Structure 1
Amino acid sequence: MSVIIRKSLLELIFSGAFMKRWNDKLRPMELVEVDKQGHKMIVAWLLFLLNSHDLDVARKRALGEAIIEGGIYDYLFRLVITDIKPPVFYRIKENPEDYKTLSKWVLDQLRPRIMPLGEEFMEGMNEYLMQPEDKGLARRILKAAHLYASYSEFKLLKSINTMDHELIEIEESFISRLESLRDLEGVSALLNEDSNVLGGFARMCGRLRFQKRWSQTPRVPETSVLGHMFIVATYSWFFSMEVGACRARRQNNFFCGLFHDLPELLTRDIISPVKGASQEIGDLIHEYENRELLRVVLTPLKDGGYTDIAARLEYLLGLEVGSEFKATVVHNGIIKEASDRQLAGEYNQDSLDPKDGPLLKVADSLAAYIEAHTALKNGISSDQLHHALYRIQQNYNKKPVIAGVQVSALLADFG
């Protein structure tokens, strides 16, 4: 069965923006599932790079794919079991038969909306959920990333929940479970984030949950830059499946989506009309972003001994070619631009490390479209939201197919 991305699947992925976390605790701000997943997958990427140095290329590609797919499976699972408190869920997980029953029910709930991804995806998710105690490297990396991201949230609300009897037990559980994963390279740095550049970078990325998109436009739900990056990454993965991207290209597209708005740590979320007001303003913002990215993120990582991570971020963010939205390959060690036709043809091979900039832009635009469309559907009407929908529709009416994705037809499904 071929993969065909549908409106219902895109809306399912977006629905994590509604899903409240820690909703039995006093919170300084709303903490939502899609933000946590974004933070988790950023940390999983860091641990993936650090723990794959000694792997050959094929095994490294397989590990990257297992981490991304496992992260998406986990997210889809959590969208369905949202109301089960962690202690209750862990008790269910202790009983294999109960856990299999719950997993089968979750798959039945998801099946109508994820069937467009094909039988292979369904079988992969079924196998993943039915073997919860797999001790493989991908699972352990995802577990460590999950614990770190959840612990980061816990520390945000710890100081205002001093009266809560569960607090000490929850923190001890986070620390002991992370300690059990110290053999993974990078986990010690995460546990000592105040004195380590890697831990500092992971914590810095988590701050993107504080930055709200469309900050001058009321919306329901509000979305953060961190959650948006995860949504774009997931959309990029699905579209990569749809267009038959090779393994390296799929992974690059996912991780590029996961970091494409990283510069907004340094500039905040500057809306498109401001960036596009003139060529000079756009160039000025881009220059400032790159300078601050080098000063605050890339140089500290390099000075701290994480040159591979810094180099990979530079490639994903398209610093060599001027934009993350340009298609690139690495040919004989040199990064160069490519066309959609080349990526779909002779450049669609792992050895060239291809990355789909235009496909990423499609995913980014669709995520913005769904944010605006959902807010309007929920009764929040504003000129900015209507204008955003109109602008995106007009852009893709002029060029309905981008990077092999039938964007205009997909937008038509939203009415």
Structure 2
Amino acid sequence: MKADCVVLGAGIVGVSVAIHLLKRGRSVVLLDRGEAGKETSYGNAGLIQREGVAPHLFPQSLVTVLNYGRNQSVDMRFRWRDLPKLSPFLARYWWASRSGSYQKIVEDYSKFIAHSVSEHAPLIEEAGAGDLIGKAGWMEVFRTEKGFRAALEEAEGHGRYGLEHQALDQQTLRSQEPHVTAPLVGAVHWTQPWTVRDPLALTQAYLRLFIQLGGRFVHGDALSLREAAPGWSVDTVEGPLQARDAVVALGPWSGGLLSKLGRHLPLGVKRGYHMHYRPRGNATISMPMFDEAGFLMVPMRQGIRLTTGAEFAALDAPPNPVQVDAAEPYAREGYPIAERLDAKPWMGARPCTPDMKPIIGPEGRKGLWLATGHAHHGLTLGPATGRLLGEMMTGETPFVDPTPYSVARFR
């Protein structure tokens, strides 16, 4: 097989890159070891986070760090035995989260994430996936006045990035969400984001669009990628594939492939878990709700999905879904859920960089390109990443400045 480009990884980022390259006249093969969208792209909260200008930073308060160090919080856990291996990444993550550095990251990030909804919109229409999309936004809900006031102050400050929100007091929140009985004092309702009722179905709808446009999806071993003049070669179930360009969009597995090719990047992993529950009776929640206690409740096709925060552990470490168990009592107390619907909690891994920005652009060797490191915003930034990389690879003027996402920042 031959193609102009092979895209390695059929998650939401890889599929989006493949579509944009195809639309620009390239012959494209999309390769994955399994079913499209079944890894990291499957288990997210379904948020296209237009409001997400401020990526998750490493806490700077000593009190907060010490509290997390007890390793008992709902929203963050770590695996003790993996800390020596993770410490170099965590140190760089902490350093990038300092006030001055972080503000520059937010300024860069805000210009890219501003296109999150607008870049999804045409693909959703072309893919006929409108039934998967909600346009009412999502909420952060609070159990303490202190947390509510701090969130409102932050939301108001984000207005300079064109973000819109509504503040809901306790009475208004109870009226809007009558089946939620948690002891909440108020909420910040972000009105611009879109939500996805089934992230796997959206990725697979984009895959069908890619194939309809003339693309090809094959199974193969992305880790077999190797230089083979005049480009790159990779093993598929149908035999070797030769391509002039190769795009690494393997999410948390990108670092392993790049290390084999001699490029060592500071890519870390944040693991996360989810569990689906049957709604209790005819009760429901109207939109995703992030509870101050450290978890998300999301209405999905499969039921109400509880998603956890971050677990810092090695990519191949065995699952440890204690965050689901820790969050579930809060969820049962305050949200209309009945029995678990999954045999066990699902686990996925998010690819992270220490400066919280994705890596998008040329790797340095001719024909090798990167689209990875999106952390919590793979679903949010998939189509925007696809457009940016497609424009860079075909010599168009990029619609946003790609410099903040260049791999060169880690040299």
TM over 0.5: no
The structure with the largest helix share of the pair is 1
Q: Relative contact order, CA 8 A, sep 6+: which one is greater?
A: 2
**Bigger share in strand:** 2
TM-score by length of 2: 0.27
